[in-house]
Amino acid sequence: MEWAVFLPAAALAVAGGVGVVAARQPVHSAIALLIVLAALAVTYLVLAAQFVAVLQVIIYAGAIVVLFLFVIMLLNVRSGEDLPVKLPRQAAVAAVAAGVYLTALLVAVLGAARPFPPAPDGFGTAQAVGAALLADYLLPFELAAVIMLVGIVAAVLLGRRPPAGRGDR
Amino acid sequence: MVPATAYLALSAVLFTLGAAGVLVRRNALIVFMSVELMLNAVNLAFVTFARQHLSIDGQVIVFFVLVVAAVEVVVGLALIGEIFRSRETVDIDDVDLLRG
Amino acid sequence: MEALAPARVVLLLAWPLAGWLANGLLGRRLGRLGPGLVGSAAVGASFLTASWLLAAYRALGPEAGPVPVPLGPWFGAGDLVVDAGLLVDPLSLTMALVVSGVGFLIHVYAIGYMAGDAHPARFFAYLNLFVFAMLLLVTAGNLLVLFVGWELVGVCSYLLIGFWFDRPAAATAGRKAFVTNRVGDAAFLLGLFLLFTAVGSLDILTVGEAAAALPAGVRLAAALLLFAGATGKSAQLPLHVWLPDAMEGPTPVSALIHAATMVTAGVFLIARLGGLFLAVPEAMAVVAAVGALTAFFAATVALRQHDLKRVLAYSTISQLGYMFVAMGAFAPAAGLFHLVTHAFFKALLFLAAGSVMHATHDVIDVRRLGGLARPLRWTAAGFAVGGLALAGVPPFAGFFSKDLILEHAFALGMATGNYVPYLLGLLTAFVTAVYITRAALLTFAGQPAEPGAHPHEAPPVMLWPMVLLAVLSASGGLLGARAAGEPLLHFLEPVLPHLGGPLAEVHAPAGPLMALSVATALAGIALGWTVHRGRRDPAGGAFGVFLERRWYIDALYEVALLRPARALGRWLAGPVDLGAIDGLVNGVGRAAMRLGAGVRRWQTGYARQYALGVLVGGVLILVFWMLR
């Protein structure tokens, strides 16, 4: 029965992944990413990670991708693929390397062919994750807050328009 | 029952796709999004392992990845905006001044 | 024993050391005459201290042996434990008196001689340092302490020869002296090592007592090595070449260091280690042979030198040869006697030469002199007294000491059948009389070679020391004359047996030998007068050139030693140092740069390429892990 959920979700995720990587326009790429995120959220639900799934939708899909879209619109980006190619052999070598890598990963992964043990109640709920965060991982939790503060300050500073009359504009 | 292998295989595929995207594409924003794809693949792997070993720690890690990815996107996009403000293109091959 | 307490003995050395420090540090503030006064006072105080120590020692009675003066431990390294210490005995007292007494007179003379010099403070500082070092050498109780003094006098000699270091000749001469001495010092050190290994201690008294018990080979080797060191310091063949060149230094330096004191250090060393040398007859034979040959060689060369100071330099070498002959003839006391008288008359001769230079504005080539007897009356008289003493004419001091040596050389012949030292010594005495007569006539007699000069006599401060030395040269014979009871020889008896070794039973015919000596001296003077009367100076043909070129020994050294050494130096500086070593070091640098340039090509600036590199690396690591 799980297969009925997993397979479509996996297919969508892969399709979306290909879309992210292969799309000509950045906007299309962002939409494809959105599809991937949604598919993965479903997968998380099956894997008894409800809290994470919700977070995924809220933060990733709801904030990050939206941010991407804002910037894409703001910069009014062209595709940038019709400019002279500076690294002619990069694509071929990358393909080979990625192929080898995928093969190796799959081989490694095959050794984990076991069914899951039954999950206890309350596994993956907000309470469970929250309890762990505030007990065992309190320090990283606080540090995460600091990181976010740093990010905010950095973004503000980086995004400032320079004062009028400065530089070589 | 879906074995863990399936989920991990999916994770591997997504990860490799993301890596390929980083290596092949020249649009900075698409590269960035490929990086996010890679991060998601890793998240999937973590959740799978958490489910397999019944340890909530895996999901806690995913929580942190989410947080840091958010911050990273913020800062990264700010940087991209700053760098490419003066150019007409977002070609990352354009920023090649740090060469020997 | 209180009178000879360490503190009082050290006082002897402290005066000149203080003088060195005072002149060295404060000299410039002492004005024109200050340094000279300070320096002379220091050495004078030393002389008084030495006299006082002499009185104290004599008060100990005739049976008093050597008095060691321990100054505490110096250093220790493994088995070697060296205590610093001095030794008060007749030998060291005699030498100390000569060094400080003659040194004092020369210091006073130098006040006048160096009056116009720009750096009196440096000069007198060095002179005081020298006196300190020489006193340290002669009063040392330990061979290493002696070696310190030995080296330090060498350093002072170098500094003083090259005192006018902006003159290339002076600088070269200083270097030559130091390097030549170094060769001797190397042998000296080897001898020290050998002695220490064999005896276990470097204390002079200990070594002296243990010497006779050493194996014959060790004794011989040590004696020969130490004699080699003495050869360098005392300018005997083949290490004599530095002394004539040392005349580039100021004349007081020549008088003090290169006539009266430093060059006698080699003779002193043999006497000091008498216990060792008297036990090795073969070494004594070598000593006598080298001394005799050197004496003869130097005297012949002095016949044809044109620089008055160089004549005196070769004369010094020759007279030092006599002293070594005495040592080799088992008569060290006679050698010391000659050392003392030689200090008197040779210093006098040098001071007179200095007075001549002072009067002629540094002209010292005898071919350009002449007719100085009337304007420089006192100087001429002093030179005459010194010359007669040198030639060995009674009743001057030189006669008594030289005759005593010849007498012992003859006794050596009687005992061993080897009359060569005696014959060479007699022949040398003849030549000595000739060359000093030539020097005197060419300098003082006849008419001036360059008319128009107005030489004037030296000031009193320069004349009084000469007068005193002349008195000593005239009366010094009383120290060792039989008629006067031979006070010096008896004083030295406990340390230097009057007649040691195989000559103890032999008695040479003193009277006839004495007559022969006098006749030889007078004959030499007569010949010299005849040949050089009226300031004639015949060149003597090829033989004369041979003598003038110093038997071509200097030329030989130049070709055989110096040129190869310079070529070696040039080769090492050029191809080896610049080429190989620098090339290696620079090559490392160049290689690093080339490596960097090669690696630089990886840094393309393209982020995507770097990412590819990361991926490839990741792949490799993953594969590696999986295969494990």
Nearest to B13 among A63, A102, A144 (CB): A102
The answer, yes or no, to whether residue C482 has pLDDT greater than 80, is no
Name the phi and psi angles at C278, rounded to 5: -65, -20
Q: Do C40 and C462 contact (CB within 8 A), yes or no?
A: no
What pLDDT is recorded for position A169? Answer: 46
C598 touches chain B (CB under 8 A): no
Q: Do C464 and C108 contact (CB within 8 A), yes or no?
A: yes
Q: Do C513 and C403 contact (CB within 8 A), yes or no?
A: yes
**Residue A114: band (very low, low, confident or very high) from pLDDT cuts 50, 70, 90:** confident
DSSP H or E stretch at residue C71: strand C67-77
Nearest to A93 among C612, C623, C626 (CB): C612
Q: Do C280 and C215 contact (CB within 8 A), yes or no?
A: no
Q: Which tokens is C60 given?
A: 């100990």
pLDDT digits (tens, 9 = 90+) for C488-499: 878 887 777 655
**Residue C454: band (very low, low, confident or very high) from pLDDT cuts 50, 70, 90:** confident
pLDDT digits (tens, 9 = 90+) for A136-146: 899 999 999 99
pLDDT digits (tens, 9 = 90+) for C209-249: 888 788 888 889 999 999 999 999 999 988 999 999 999 99
B55 touches chain A (CB under 8 A): no
**Residue C333: band (very low, low, confident or very high) from pLDDT cuts 50, 70, 90:** confident
Q: Which tokens is C462 given?
A: 């320069």
Give the C-alpha separation, B56 to A52, whole Å. 11
Question: Who wins on pLDDT, B74 or C478?
Answer: B74
Q: Inter-chain contact B97–C611, Cβ cutoff 8 Å?
A: no
Residue keyed to tokens 């290994």: C197
Q: Do C272 and C91 contact (CB within 8 A), yes or no?
A: yes
Which residue blocks in C59-142 are alpha helix, DSSP H?
A: 90-113, 120-139
User: In angstroms, what separates the C-alpha of B40 from chain C's closest C-alpha?
Assistant: 18
The answer, yes or no, to whether residue C362 has pLDDT greater than 50, is yes
Hey, is A11 helix, strand or coil?
helix
* Mean pLDDT along residues C66-90: 81
Give the C-alpha separation, C43 to C19, whole Å. 8
Which residue blocks in C533-602 are alpha helix, DSSP H?
A: 541-548, 553-557, 563-571, 582-600
Nearest to A115 among B3, B43, B50 (CB): B3
* Mean pLDDT along residues C478-505: 72
Give the C-alpha separation, A160 to A162, whole Å. 6
Give the C-alpha separation, C544 to C537, whole Å. 11
Least Cα distance to C167 among C99, C238, C247, C231 occurs for: C247
Chains in contact with B, where contact means 3 or more Cβ–Cβ distances below 8 Å, are A, C
Length of chain B, in residues: 100
* Mean pLDDT along residues A91-118: 83
Q: Which residues contact A139 (CB under 8 A, 6 or more apart)?
A: none
Residue C393's CB: how many other CB atoms inside 10 A?
18
**What DSSP line would sit under C369-422, residue for residue?**
----TTTTHHHHHHHHHHHHHHHT-TTSHHHHHHHHHHHHHHHHHHHHS--HHH
Q: What is the largest CA-CA distance in chain C?
A: 115
Q: Around C508, how many Cα atoms within 13 Å sit in the side-chain half-sphere?
A: 25
What pLDDT is recorded for position C544? Answer: 82
**Residue A111: band (very low, low, confident or very high) from pLDDT cuts 50, 70, 90:** confident
Which residues from chain A sit within 8 angstroms of residue C619, using beta carbons?
A: 97, 100-101, 104
Least Cα distance to C437 among C553, C317, C524, C337 occurs for: C524
**What DSSP line would sit under B48-81, residue for residue?**
HHHHHHT-THHHHHHHHHHHHHHHHHHHHHHHHH
Q: Do B29 and B90 contact (CB within 8 A), yes or no?
A: yes
What pLDDT is recorded for position A112? Answer: 65
CA distances from A2 to A57, A111, A116, B3, C474 (A): 21, 21, 12, 10, 135
Which residues from chain A sit within 8 angstroms of residue B27, using beta carbons?
A: 26, 77, 79-81
What pLDDT is recorded for position A36? Answer: 95
CA distances from C74 to C13, C80, C81, C474, C563 (A): 17, 11, 8, 44, 42
Q: Taking CA atoms, what residue in A is nearest to C623?
A: A104
The answer, yes or no, to whether residue C102 has pLDDT greater than 90, is yes
Average pLDDT over chain C reads 88
What pLDDT is recorded for position A73? Answer: 86
Q: Do C260 and C320 contact (CB within 8 A), yes or no?
A: no
Hey, is B91 helix, strand or coil?
strand
**Residue A65: band (very low, low, confident or very high) from pLDDT cuts 50, 70, 90:** very high
Question: End-to-end distance of chain B based on CA atoms, in angstroms?
Answer: 55
Q: Do C162 and C249 contact (CB within 8 A), yes or no?
A: yes
- Give the residues across from C203 on adjacent strands: C142
pLDDT digits (tens, 9 = 90+) for C339-355: 999 999 999 999 999 99
Question: Who wins on pLDDT, C64 or C547?
Answer: C547
Q: Which of C602, C604, C608 to mutate to test the interface with B (most CBs of B within 10 A)?
A: C608
Q: Do C477 and C401 contact (CB within 8 A), yes or no?
A: yes
Q: Taking CA atoms, what residue in A is nearest to B52?
A: A116
- pLDDT > 70: percent of chain C: 98
Q: Inter-chain contact A104–C623, Cβ cutoff 8 Å?
A: yes
C626 touches chain B (CB under 8 A): no
Show which of residues 8-47 on chain A sit within 8 Å of chain B, judged by CB atoms: 10, 13-14, 17-18, 20-21, 23, 26, 29-30, 33, 36-37, 40, 43-44, 46-47
Q: Do B14 and A17 contact (CB within 8 A), yes or no?
A: yes
Least Cα distance to C521 among C442, C445, C437, C412 occurs for: C437
C607 touches chain B (CB under 8 A): yes
* Mean pLDDT along residues C378-399: 91
**Residue A167: band (very low, low, confident or very high) from pLDDT cuts 50, 70, 90:** low
Show which of residues 82-101 on chain A sit within 8 Å of chain C, judged by CB atoms: 86-87, 90, 93-94, 97-98, 100-101
CA distances from C620 to C125, C284, C403 (A): 78, 85, 101
Name the phi and psi angles at C606, rounded to 5: -90, 120
A102 touches chain C (CB under 8 A): no
Residue C209's CB: how many other CB atoms inside 10 A?
12
What pLDDT is recorded for position C456? Answer: 83
Q: Do C330 and C387 contact (CB within 8 A), yes or no?
A: no
Q: Do C364 and C356 contact (CB within 8 A), yes or no?
A: yes
* Mean pLDDT along residues C568-578: 85
Peptide bond just before A115 cis, omega within 30 deg:
no
Give the C-alpha separation, C418 to C330, whole Å. 14
Q: Inter-chain contact B23–A94, Cβ cutoff 8 Å?
A: yes
Q: Which has the minimum average pLDDT: A133-137, B71-75, C56-60? A: C56-60
Give the C-alpha separation, B97 to C605, whole Å. 6
Cβ burial C306-331 (10 Å sphere, 16+ → b, else e): bebbbbbbbbbbbbbbbbbbbbbbbb
Hey, is C142 helix, strand or coil?
strand
Q: Which has the minimum average pLDDT: B18-32, C107-121, C533-547, C614-628? A: C533-547
What pLDDT is recorded for position C581? Answer: 85
* Mean pLDDT along residues C297-319: 93
**Residue C105: band (very low, low, confident or very high) from pLDDT cuts 50, 70, 90:** very high
Chain mean position to CA B96 = 23
The answer, yes or no, to whether residue C505 has pLDDT greater than 70, is no
C616 touches chain B (CB under 8 A): no
Q: Around C319, how many Cα atoms within 13 Å sit in the side-chain half-sphere?
A: 37
The DSSP symbol for A61 reads: I
The DSSP symbol for B7 reads: H
Nearest to B23 among C601, C602, C611 (CB): C611
Question: Who wins on pLDDT, C622 or A79?
Answer: C622
The answer, yes or no, to whether residue C68 has pLDDT greater than 50, is yes
Q: Do A77 and B83 contact (CB within 8 A), yes or no?
A: no
Q: Which residues contact B70 (CB under 8 A, 6 or more apart)?
A: A59, A60, A63, A64, A148, A151
Show which of residues 133-162 on chain A sit within 8 Å of chain B, judged by CB atoms: 133, 136-137, 140, 144, 147-148, 150-152, 154-155, 158-159
Give the C-alpha separation, C36 to C252, whole Å. 12
